[in-house]
Every structure is written in C-alpha cells, then in structure tokens.
Amino acid sequence: MNCTWQAGRDAPADTQYFLYWQKSIEDNQMECELYIKAENGRNMGCIFQNVSIGHEKAYFLVNGSSKDSLIQFYDEYINMYKIEKLMPPSNITVNCDEIKNDCIIQWQQPQISHSNKDMCFKYEINIKYKVRISSLTFDINSYICVRNDRYEFQNYNEKKRYTVKIRARGENCLVSSNWGEWSKPIEFGKTMVVF
C-alpha cells in the first residue's frame, strides 16, 4: 500500500512528517516501514508491505514536527476496500468456433485479499478490430459489461484480427466500485493484411 501527502502551505522548511496507521481497533498503531522522501529529505509518502484489507475502517494519522512551530496533524478513518486499486483479471483465454461464428472469452477474477467470490465483480470487456475503407484504417471498439467470468462474442469474423482487454470493479460486496486496471490486450483471429 502506498500513501502520499503534501506539506502544509505554511509549513516551516524543517517540518518533518510521520505516518501511523491502525488496521482495526484491536490492533496496535504502526509507524510507516519505508518513507518516500522529497528532494529536501522531507517524508512525503509511505510504502507499507503485506497489507491485508479487512471489513473495519483503518485509522491513519500524519503527524508533523518542527523546531519553529506546532504542526497540525491530519487523521482519517478509511474503508480500505473503497480505495483499493483492482488489478486486472488474469488468465484470459479466447476459444473461437469458426462454424458457429462465435468465441468464448473466459478469465479469472482480480486477486484481492478479502474475498474470493466472483459474484463481487462486474467486468468491462473491450473488443477492438480494424476496418479498412479505401486507403484509411479505422479502429472499431465494442464495450460490453457482464457480471460473470465468461462472455460469448458472437458474429466473429475469422478474417479479422481482434484484441480483447478486460477490467473489473466491485459490485454488491466490500470491493472498490472504481474500475481497475485494464488487462494486457490478447489477440485472436487472423492477421490483417494491409496492401
């Protein structure tokens, strides 16, 4: 987990910041393990490793110190799952049937530490192919949203070259409702010949 902050507008030059967090009420407060430093040596961020996300709000506190003045602290309770950036779905496969003119696209849900239920996700699929008209080539994009880890792409044209990429977001569970990262594009179909 990466956390960052900005120095106060009127913070003296010698101000140094320290971050503490508490995973739940029962846990002890922990100081940052690895600070991210600005050019002037001031702590401006923190990297926590091996963070697991629970159902309770975590507590964060940024304290500042200076020889010249008192520094206002900042604290906040945060539902960690709401700020989690989802990784892309993995193990994407495409199996096409040229007789039926369709392809079955399948994948595995993003890995998260606090749920293994696939019903927690909604997926957006982007299927792209190129169309050539006269001397111009255009990209045609289709965006589809589905609730399971499988999609049947119909009207597959075996003469076209397609790319597919997928991303996820949480729905109906304690998973971030922000769209996650796109997967790497997977190609399928024939190679497009350009003259």
Tally the domains of the chain: 2
User: Which pLDDT tens digit goes with each residue over 47-73?
Assistant: 988 777 777 788 899 999 999 888 888
Looking at residue 116, what is its pLDDT?
A: 60
Domain holding 45: CATH number? Answer: 2.60.40.10
Query: What is the average per-residue pLDDT within 119-140?
Result: 83
Residues 101 and 31 in one domain: no
Note down the domain range covering 72. 2-82
Query: What is the average per-residue pLDDT within 155-172?
Result: 88
14 inside domain: yes
Looking at residue 37, what is its pLDDT?
A: 93
194 inside domain: no
pTM score, two decimals?
0.71
| SS (HEC) of the chain | CEEECCCCCCCCCCCEEEEEEECCCCCCCEECCEEEECCCCCEEEEECCCCCCCCCCEEEEEEEECCCCCCCCEEEEECHHHHCCCCCCEEEEEEEECCCCEEEEEEECCCCCCCCCHHHEEEEEEEEEEEEECCEEEEEEEEEEECCCEEEEECCCCCCEEEEEEEEEECCCCCCCCCCCCCCCEEEECCCCCC
Residues 116 and 61 in one domain: no
Residues 102 and 157 in one domain: yes
Query: What is the average per-residue pLDDT within 128-144?
Result: 80
User: Which pLDDT tens digit goes with each residue over 4-63?
Assistant: 888 888 888 899 999 998 877 777 888 998 999 998 899 999 998 877 777 778 889 999
